[in-house]
Amino acid sequence: MGSTTLPCTYEPAEGFTQQTLIWSLERDGSSSAIFWRDDSGDHVLLSQFRDRASVPKHSPGDASLLIEHLEIPDSGHYTCQVTWRSKNNSLVTKEVTTMVKVVKGKPSNYVLPLCIQADPQSLQEKQRWWNSL
């Protein structure tokens, strides 16, 4: 089936070191971390995403999540959370949520990913639109 890239980009800042990158999926009222990157490497935590989910390794400023071979159960709210440490040891976090709805098309059973990036304030508005599909 199809694939999609969920965007999560930022401008690398001098004096800040990326500590963690976490992609999580919320659906049916529960949230699970699916991807984790830290000093020990990359970890795909949910078995249903093994060999299907990845994030660019050597692309400063790009923490986008690629999901291949999309399936209907991949629908949900995906959140990218990147945390940096400054030289004075303070932590800074950026969080971006993207809604994905995978639907089967009638003519050829094509899977169409619908992605909407939303800030937390407008997420309720987007949720109403999402539910209307």
- What's the domain count of the chain? 1
Tokens 């059973």, residue located: 109
Whether the pLDDT of residue 13 is over 80: the answer is yes
Pairing of strands 76-86, 111-118: unpaired
Which pLDDT value is given to residue 111?
Answer: 47
Model pTM score: 0.77
Distant-in-sequence, close-in-space partners of 91: CB < 8 Å, separation ≥ 6: 19, 83, 84, 85
Asked if pLDDT for residue 18 goes beyond 50, the answer is yes
The per-residue pLDDT for range 66-90, each reduced to its tens digit, is: 999 999 999 999 999 999 999 999 9
Tens digit of pLDDT for each residue in 89-105? 999 999 999 999 988 76
State the alpha helices, DSSP H only, in the chain: 123-132
Residue range(s) defining the domain that contains residue 112: 4-132
Q: Are strands 4-6 and 76-86 parallel, antiparallel or unpaired?
A: unpaired
The pairing of beta strand 41-44 with beta strand 53-54: unpaired
Higher-confidence residue: 120 or 92? Answer: 92
| CATH code of the domain containing 66 | 2.60.40.10
